[in-house]
Amino acid sequence: MIRRDHGCAVAADAARLRRAQYLLETTRHPVEMIAGQVGFGSANTFRDRFRRLVGTSPHAYRRAFQGSSSG
């Protein structure tokens, strides 16, 4: 779930981050690769935006998802 940042999330970022969440959940691609695949110019920008809108880092998101999906 994407959290609103200061009352309004930018629609383009929200869409890119939803795609990134899917890739983090379903692939083992490095965060740097996912950042490029979803249209962020740098992995640092991606990490910052992800943390602000999702509430956790991409690495922590992936770990939490993988932990909750195991048997």
Indicate the domain borders of the chain: 27-69
Burial readout 42-70 (b: 16 or more C-beta within 10 A, e: otherwise): ebeebbebbeebbeeebeebbeeeeeeee
Which whole number is the average pLDDT over 59-67?
Answer: 90
Exposed/middle/buried for residue 30 (C-beta within 10 Å: 0-12, 13-18, 19+): exposed
Q: What is each CA distance from 32 to 2, 3, 4, 5, in whole angstroms?
A: 20, 22, 24, 23
55, 9 Cβ separation under 8 angstroms: no
Average pLDDT of the chain is 86
pLDDT tens for 2-14 read 555 544 456 788 8
Domain 27-69, CATH homologous superfamily name and number? Homeodomain-like (1.10.10.60)
Q: Whole-model pTM? A: 0.79
